Amino acid sequence: MVWKLASLTAALALLGAASAAGAQVPPAPVPPVHGVPVSELIGLDSAAVRARLAGVAADWPVPAAFEVAAPAGRLSFITLGELMTDPVLAQRMAAFRTHGDPIAFAPHLQCKAVLARPGASPQSAGSVVLMFRDGRLDAALLPVEAAPPPVPNPADRKAMIAYERRPRRSPFVANFGELPLEDGLGFLARWTRTALSPADELAADCAAAPSPAAAPARLAHHALDAGDMQGLALLPFAVTLPAKNRQRVAAREAGAALLATLRVGQALGAAPQAFAAAHTGVRACRVKREDYAVLSIDLGGYPGRNLSNFNDAALLGVRAGRIEWISPPTLFGPSPTLLCLDGRGVPNAPRPGCSGWGHFSP
């Protein structure tokens, strides 16, 4: 989850920087909380939880969440920050995430989730994970993340390569070389978190996003910079961009439509490999256990000038012909990068779709 939170932090930082057109804006303080005790949120569905925390539009769609079948009912997990994200902002973030061109500014709300615990100062609560059982809030959980290793000096090439090639651990992979959730609900024992108490309060402070200032004109220059050189190097491949952009848009529509037909607990309807062969943009991965497979679904992206595949992807686990879990692009849940960890836990190319540096292309 720490990789995903780092990516979201970077995305929000860059989107904010673009909106401010380079203005230096000090970090906003955490607002005082006039929140709702967790005890009053337990038992509500996700839309009702959001309505209790902030007066946002009732027609905001509820974001897709990581869902997994459990003996005591279907579990779904979503961070509070995602639940409180304006759909307009969510679209801009999706374009950024898939390396698409920036989407034109449209009015939207920016919401800051806040946690207040008795005897403690208010703190950001965007990473709080809400766990729903059969659609009703069962618990609010605060992840406890291990501190990442320090990033070495970029000038030290060997140290940087060793840093990038370090083994990665995730609660969603029990042992190096396995597929995500190969041991089912075992991730619950590996995931470190603390449960919020009934007296802890959650709140969301929402305000209209400021309109971006006019972007400054690019200064004229005569020498070629690094960006110019990169563009010139890729110029021979630019003829492929229209086709790539059409694929991104088509996959975003077709992938979402296919994903909407799939439900946790239902039969897949075909063997995983046959299902993948019958649907464009679907891959199927198997290891060790013949009754278990993980499928990826290409969810496309937004038109842009990138020549690589940074499309979004959803994952689903299938055991004995039934869908056991589904994980869309979300901050908490198995991510496609986990398919690209090798038998030592190092980002690599152990399966189709993986690059040598562990990037997954659906």
Q: What is the pLDDT of residues 46-98, one digit of tens each?
A: 999 999 999 999 899 999 999 999 998 999 999 999 999 999 999 999 999 99
For residue 162, the number of C-alpha atoms closer than 13 Å in the C-beta half-sphere is 10
Distance CA 126, CA 228 (A): 38
170 lies in the same domain as 52: no
Q: What is the pLDDT of residue 237?
A: 59
Sequential DSSP letters for 126-189: TTPEEEEETTEEEEEEEE-PPPPPPPPPTT-HHHHHHHHTS----TT-SSTTPPTTTTGGGHHH
Q: What is the pLDDT of residue 13?
A: 43
My answer on whether 77 and 37 are in the same domain is: yes
The residue count for the chain: 362
Assess whether 204 and 345 both reside in one domain: no
Same domain for 163 and 290, yes or no, is yes
pLDDT band at 6 (very low <50, low <70, confident <90, very high): very low
Residue-level pLDDT at 1: 52
For residue 288, what pLDDT band results from cuts at 50, 70 and 90? low
What six digits make up the tokens of 361?
């292309």
Mean pLDDT of 19-37: 55
Res 147: pLDDT: 86
The reply to whether 157 falls in a domain is yes
Query: Measured on CA atoms in the order 35, 37, 40, 44, is the torsion positive or negative?
Result: positive
Kindly state the average pLDDT of the residues 348-360. Answer: 94
What's the pTM value of the predicted model, to 2 decimals?
0.85
CA 295 – CA 285 distance, rounded (Å): 6
Among 70-74, 213-217, 272-276, 333-337, which is the least confidently predicted range? 213-217
Strand order in the sheet with 129-133: 193-195, 136-143, 129-133, 75-79, 66-68, 322-327, 312-319, 292-300, 282-285
Tell me if residue 203 falls in helix, strand or coil.
strand
Mean pLDDT of the residues in the chain:
87
Same structural domain, 160 and 94: no
Q: Is the pLDDT of residue 33 over 50?
A: yes
Task: Dump pLDDT digits (tens) for 308-331.
Answer: 899 999 999 999 999 999 999 999
pLDDT(42) > 50? yes
Distance in angstroms (rounded) separating the CA atoms of residues 332 and 344 = 23
Domain contains 330: yes
Q: Is the pLDDT of residue 355 over 50?
A: yes
* DSSP class per residue in 60-106: PPPPP-EEE--TTS-EEEEEHHHHT--HHHHHHHHHHHTTPPPPPP-
Please determine, for residue 9, whether its predicted confidence score (pLDDT) is greater than 50.
Answer: no
Do 260 and 111 lie in one domain? The reply is: no
* Residue 293 and residue 173 in one domain: yes
Cα–Cα distance for residue pair 350/342, rounded to 1 Å: 5
Q: For 33-47, 163-177, 226-240, 324-338, which range has the lowest pLDDT when averaged over its residues?
A: 226-240
Domains of the chain: total: 2
Assess whether 140 and 156 both reside in one domain.
no
Q: Domain span at residue 269? A: 152-179+238-362
pLDDT band at 21 (very low <50, low <70, confident <90, very high): very low
Query: Cβ(38)–Cβ(140) under 8 Å?
Result: yes
Residue 203 domain flag? yes
**166 shares its domain with 203:** no
The strand pair at 109-116 and 123-124 is best described as antiparallel
Establish if 229 belongs to a structural domain: no
**Residue 8 located in a structural domain:** no
First to last CA, the chain: 20
In this structure, the answer to whether residues 174 and 311 fall within a common structural domain is: yes
CB atoms within 10 A of CB 85: 24
Q: DSSP of 314-340, one letter per residue?
A: EEEEEETTEEEEEE-S-SSS--GGGGG
Q: Which tens digits make up the pLDDT trace of 216-240?
A: 555 545 454 444 444 444 555 578 8
233 part of a folded domain: no
> Which residues pair with residue 204 across a beta bridge?
113
Tell me if 215 is assigned to some domain: no
1 within some domain:
no
Q: Are residues 110 and 169 in the same domain?
A: no
Do residue 246 and residue 303 come from a single domain? yes
The pLDDT, as a whole number, for residue 162 is: 92
